[in-house]
Amino acid sequence: MSPEPNLRAAALDSAASMIIPAHVGIIMDGNGRWAEKRKLIRSQGHLEGLKAAKRIVKAASDAGVRFLTLYVFSTENWKRASEEVGFIMGLVKQYLRGELDFYRENHIRIRHAGDPAGLPPDIARELESACRETCSFSGLQVILALNYGGRDEIVRAARKILDAAGNGGMPLITEKTFHSFLDNPDVPDPDLIIRSAGEYRTSNFLLWEGAYSEYYVSDILWPDWTETEFDGALKAYRERGRKFGGAR
Ligand code: FPP
């Protein structure tokens, strides 16, 4: 069971030296398996997955995480049955509309990673409106990776560089300039990438940005995630020694 909110806050405060990752990415996996275990349809797993996402947004905000990227729908997820895709898009719409009061109360800013051009027009509009309405909020920034693929982001960045160059010839490309053409260049690279449901794969998530991220894999299926699991991931992160390719 999760601790009382004030107990959790006290536990977080008492660890004065606690290192909170500035940016956490989450591959929210296991919705389908959660439903199958209960002989429910897969959509029921996604519905519970949305509830888990709301719990974790609150937990991240309370813990002082500054950026949280949620892998909601990949460029490969379009291969799923049209009913499942339609259901997930419906949940996204419901989430974007229904959480506005919560974002206001908690100063949460919504952002997008991915290609908006490939989204159904009503979802793209809803996303744009949530991003606009929350753009001045200074609390946690929740980045919804929606129609997102790491390879696709890199290819789109390369195209943007060519477009920006016009007929002026090929610009000098460095890691720094390339980075500035990614979807959210001002967002720091993820310190920690969490994957639920026990799979050891990147699944095309934040390929460029995650070059030096710490990975945390949990067997717990995403719909079962609460702040307890999230705190467990933060604790594991604190115990890692990061070298970024250097020596200790
Ligand atoms: C992966 O589990 C999950 C998804 C592809 C969808 C994630 C969507 C949500 C959690 C709901 C929407 C959330 C927000 C914040 C709007 P899977 O279906 O691949 O699970 P499986 O591997 O067990 O089949």
Q: For 173-210, what is each residue's pLDDT tens digit?
A: 999 999 999 999 999 999 999 999 999 999 999 999 99
Q: Which residues contact 173 (CB under 8 A, 6 or more apart)?
A: 161
Is 163 considered catalytic here?
Answer: no
Q: For 209-233, what is each residue's pLDDT tens digit?
A: 999 999 999 999 999 999 999 999 9
The token duo for 198 is 């026990």
Q: What is the pLDDT of residue 168?
A: 76
Q: What is the pTM of this model?
A: 0.93
DSSP 8-class letter at 117: G
Cα–Cα dist 54/57, whole Å? 5
Judge whether 57 and 228 are in contact, CB under 8 Å.
no
Using a 6 Å cutoff on CB, does residue 223 contact ligand 1?
A: no
Paired strand residues for 24: 68, 192
Is 29 considered catalytic here?
Answer: yes
Using a 6 Å cutoff on CB, does residue 33 contact ligand 1?
A: yes
Q: What is the pLDDT of residue 241?
A: 86
Nearest ligand 1 atom to the CA of 74 is 5
Residue with CA at minimum distance from ligand 1 atom 6: 72
Q: For 82-100, what is each residue's pLDDT tens digit?
A: 999 999 999 999 999 999 9
Assigned CATH for 20-149+191-238? 3.40.1180.10
The Cβ-side half-sphere exposure at 225, using a 13 Å CA radius, reads: 37
pLDDT (mean) for 108-127: 97
SS3 label, residue 110 = strand
The CA-atom distances, in angstroms, between 185 and each of 67, 110, 162, 176, 231 are 13, 15, 17, 10, 27
% pLDDT > 70, the chain: 92
Token pair 């060519």 is found at: 162
Q: For 3-38, what is each residue's pLDDT tens digit?
A: 565 655 555 554 434 699 999 999 999 999 999 999
Strand 214-217, strand 23-27: pairing? unpaired
Cα–Cα dist 158/70, whole Å? 24
Nearest ligand 1 atom to the CA of 35 is 23
pLDDT (mean) for 43-65: 98
SS3 label, residue 201 = coil
